[in-house]
């Protein structure tokens, strides 16, 4: 679930420019001093910095509260779905065994009658019994198919609901992460902020992940997501 969230965030937050920054002046790394933004100390300014969304999400209070809860629900659903499908397979096998046994019984009756080992009257009675068993098995099969269809639809609805919850969670995290980045870069100290998945090599001092994480947690605790 975390990977799904990150894949969307990675695309939507791959590159964040400061086109709406308040300042147009360039900021040199050598002369920059750490800056305070709403109580959070920033790393040295530079034209380009990067952040690790995977780390930010996994370490955030948002994910610890809402993400873990949804992940647990999804794991429970997967176990439930597996249990239901195993039940279907067992029931289907039992019905198949009953059918095969009845077929063997019918074949034996036919063989015995052909050999003259059973009277016509007894063969007819036995055949009627086999037909009743066949009707019972057919009824069981019909009921089983109805059960599979009903339970399958219920599982599909539950899966769709969880998928929607997952998308909402992704959107909520994207919103709070974007807001944290916007606030941190409100004065335009960074000309570009990129996701770590696009970084091949970089100075660790340009990693603003902890800075963004701290702001994300602050916004979440302040009730910015309701």
Task: Give 86-104 pLDDT, tens digit per residue.
Answer: 999 999 999 999 999 999 9
Q: Is 16 helix (H, G, I), strand (E, B) or coil?
A: strand
Average pLDDT, the chain: 83
Evaluate if residue 56 carries a pLDDT over 90: yes
Would you call 188 helix, strand, or coil by DSSP?
A: coil
pTM of the shown model:
0.70
Per-residue pLDDT band for 15 (boundaries 50, 70, 90) equals: very low
- Tokens, residue 191: 């000309």
| Sign of the alpha-carbon dihedral angle for 187, 190, 191, 192 | negative
Q: How is residue 6 written in tokens?
A: 């990150």
What band does 199 get if pLDDT is binned at 50, 70 and 90? confident
- Would you say residue 1 has pLDDT above 70? no
Do residues 20 and 183 lie in contact, with contact meaning Cβ atoms separated by under 8 Å? no
Helix (H, G, I), strand (E, B) or coil at 23: coil
Q: Do strands 46-51 and 190-195 pair parallel, antiparallel, or not at all (unpaired)?
A: parallel
- Distance, first Cα to last Cα, the chain: 22
Q: Using CB atoms within 10 Å of the CB of residue 204, give its burial: 0 to 12 exposed, 13 to 18 middle, 19+ buried.
A: exposed
Structure tokens at 35: 């800056």
pLDDT in tens, 171-190: 999 999 999 999 999 988 89
SS3 190: strand
**Residue whose pair of structure tokens reads 């019918």 in the numeric block:** 106
The yes-or-no verdict on residue 11 having pLDDT over 60 is no
Pick from 30, 26, 7, 29: nearest CA to 18: 26
């Amino acid at each position: 679930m975390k990977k799904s969230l990150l894949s969307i965030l990675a695309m939507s937050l791959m590159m964040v420019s400061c086109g709406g920054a308040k300042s147009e002046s360039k900021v040199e790394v050598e002369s920059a001093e750490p800056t305070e933004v709403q109580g959070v100390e920033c790393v040295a300014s530079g034209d380009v910095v990067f952040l690790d969304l995977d780390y930010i999400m996994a370490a955030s209070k948002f994910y610890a509260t809402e993400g873990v809860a949804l992940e647990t629900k999804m794991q429970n659903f997967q176990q439930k779905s597996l249990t239901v499908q195993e039940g279907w397979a067992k029931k289907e096998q039992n019905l198949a065994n009953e059918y095969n046994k009845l077929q063997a019984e019918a074949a034996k009756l036919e063989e015995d009658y052909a050999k003259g080992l059973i009277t016509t009257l007894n063969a007819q009675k036995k055949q009627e019994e086999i037909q009743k068993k066949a009707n019972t098995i057919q009824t069981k099969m019909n009921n089983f198919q109805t059960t599979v269809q009903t339970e399958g639809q219920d599982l599909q609805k539950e899966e769709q609901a969880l998928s929607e919850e997952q998308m909402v969670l992704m959107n909520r995290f994207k919103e709070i992460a974007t807001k944290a980045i916007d606030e941190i870069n409100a004065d335009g100290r960074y000309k570009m902020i990129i996701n770590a998945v696009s970084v091949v090599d970089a100075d660790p001092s340009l990693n603003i992940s902890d800075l963004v994480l701290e702001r994300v947690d602050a916004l979440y605790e302040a009730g910015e997501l309701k």
